[in-house]
Structure 1
């Protein structure tokens, strides 16, 4: 059995207009400490992440705790909502995302479709699972692509699910080979 912890990044400021370089807010930095505390006794073998700073920073201290490098996988990046790879205001993102969940082929301004984002995310996950059977793995990720990956396994992971996720958020998935056996949400103290 392979255990994968999907870690949605902690809170990130929308003031940085470059999606790749957005870091964490002060609250996000504190919340990332809760992620590290949770993972400390989980004997993590490998850390993978989106190349986006907010994902890296959320799992960085945990990787350091285990003396592990974070393996960057470009295919784990967030869905490209804008052809310019720029941060979009929250008020603009959710109507776009909702449309993408309704129509998996919908695209705006050269953005990715739900289908293309899901495909690259699943492809990345399958390679990780095939090469690391029996390991305990952390994947630093984002809300949309994480939900799209989960949707591949069960359609209940939809727009409404995405809306109720938090920053950060942790989901523990157990696989037998590439078959999903179990998924559960981990409740951190910061949710209380």
Structure 2
């Protein structure tokens, strides 16, 4: 089995700089939690979106396993629109309702999903039977998961935490299991 640990980035300080936006103080503290939650998972490789908040969320994981972080553009957040949208909730609902629709300068669900899935399939081929952490973002993560199982949808995205960790177990390129890695599981040994 190949285990992919998708890590949705921790809380960040909002700015219009998508690439350089850093984690907040709370987010930096939560990045320590991510490292603790993954400590016993024998991680072989760490990948991240090139966005600073995603990198910062998995940095301590890479350090504790003495690994470098590979940056992969395919795991960056989906571009919703070239310009800020007046109502984010309505804008995101529209692209999930109509997967081929895109806002001006943005990516449709289909385009963003294709980008993310292509990157994931490359990881699965290259790191077969290994444990790989991928620091990423909520919407692109759920779009990738949705490709394998449609139950991962807008409602699922809406309940995600910052940070959040999902372990996807693959046999070859076939998804076999998904489980959330949480403090409760670590505390109770699940």
Q: TM-score range by the shorter chain?
A: over 0.9
CA-based RMSD of the aligned residues comes to: 1.3
Cα pair 2:37 2:181 within 8 Å, conserved: no
Cα pair 2:7 2:166 within 8 Å, conserved: yes
- Unmatched segments (≥5 aa) in structure 1: none
- 1:162 corresponds to 2:161: no
- 1:7 corresponds to 2:7: yes
Q: Structure 1 residue runs of 4+, over 3 Å off?
A: none
Aligned residues: 184
CA distance in 2, matches of 1:127, 1:95: 33
CA distance in 1, matches of 2:37, 2:30: 11
Q: How does 1:30-45 map to 2 (within 5 A)?
A: 30-45=29-44
TM-score (norm 2): 0.93
> Residue by residue, what CA displacement relative to the aligned partner does 1:70-93 show, whole Å, maximum 9, x if unpaired?
000011100011225xxx48x732
TM-score (norm 1): 0.92
Paired position in structure 2 for 1:97? 92
Cα pair 1:83 1:109 within 8 Å, conserved: yes
Q: Provide the secondary structure at the position in 2 that maps to 1:124.
A: helix
> Residue by residue, what CA displacement relative to the aligned partner does 1:33-88 show, whole Å, maximum 9, x if unpaired?
1000111121100001100000000000110111101000011100011225xxx4
Cα pair 1:35 1:188 within 8 Å, conserved: no
CA distance in 2, matches of 1:148, 1:98: 13
Paired position in structure 2 for 1:175? 170
- Unmatched segments (≥5 aa) in structure 2: 185-190
CA distance in 2, matches of 1:32, 1:93: 26
